[in-house]
A = this chain, B = another copy of it.
Amino acid sequence: MKILILNGPNLNMLGSREPEIYGTSTLSDIVNELTALAAGCNAQVDHFQSNEEGALVTRIQQSRGVHDGIIFNPGAYTHTSIALLDALRACDCPCIEVHLSNIHSREPFRRRSLTAQACLGQICGLGPMGYRLALTALLEMHGSKGTSR
């Protein structure tokens, strides 16, 4: 089983960017933790981060036939990108959206998620643990060969 970890704009700055909102873990910390967790389940993770909306679209397109699940933190594009929504709709594996902070308790423009409309679900506000929970969910769903709902 192969999972794509996809991170959007400014997530490469984790650890130094507004730590009171986003915490002090770096993106490497998170990816390493996920790699270890996946390895323990005979799964494998690929990671890609980009500040470019288009590069993220392309990476989602390339997951076809390669990945069995996507964990996606679209960052700022969550709230405005129809292009990412369209890419996810054309995708053939389940995607779980993750946000480090609680989008419901921030500025109004962060409360709407366009991209989550094409995801299985969303986990927000639980910091780096959110990624681990998403990975657990994808592994469990794959293991049981059933859908989660």
Which residues of A pack against B, CB within 8 Å? 8-10, 12-13, 16-18, 21-23, 50-55, 57-58, 61, 64, 75-77, 79-83, 85-87, 89-90, 96, 100-102, 104-105, 109-113, 116-130, 133, 136-137, 140-141, 147-149
**Contact between B123 and A123 (Cβ–Cβ < 8 Å)?**
yes
What is the distance, in angstroms, from A43's C-beta to the closest C-beta of chain B? 17
**Contact between B136 and A149 (Cβ–Cβ < 8 Å)?**
no
**Contact between B113 and A119 (Cβ–Cβ < 8 Å)?**
no
**Contact between B149 and A23 (Cβ–Cβ < 8 Å)?**
yes
The oligomer's copy count stands at: 12
With A51-B54, A81-B76, A83-B51 known as contacts, the answer to whether A96 contacts B9 (CB < 8 A) is no
Q: A79 CA to B136 CA in the complex, in Å?
A: 28
What is the distance, in angstroms, from A64's C-beta to the closest C-beta of chain B? 8
Return chain B residues, CB-CB under 8 Å to A81: 76
With A51-B83, A76-B81, A102-B116 known as contacts, the answer to whether A149 contacts B122 (CB < 8 A) is no
Q: A98 CA to B59 CA in the complex, in Å?
A: 25
| Nearest-neighbor residue (CB-CB) of A104 within chain B | B116
Q: A12 CA to B80 CA in the complex, in Å?
A: 21
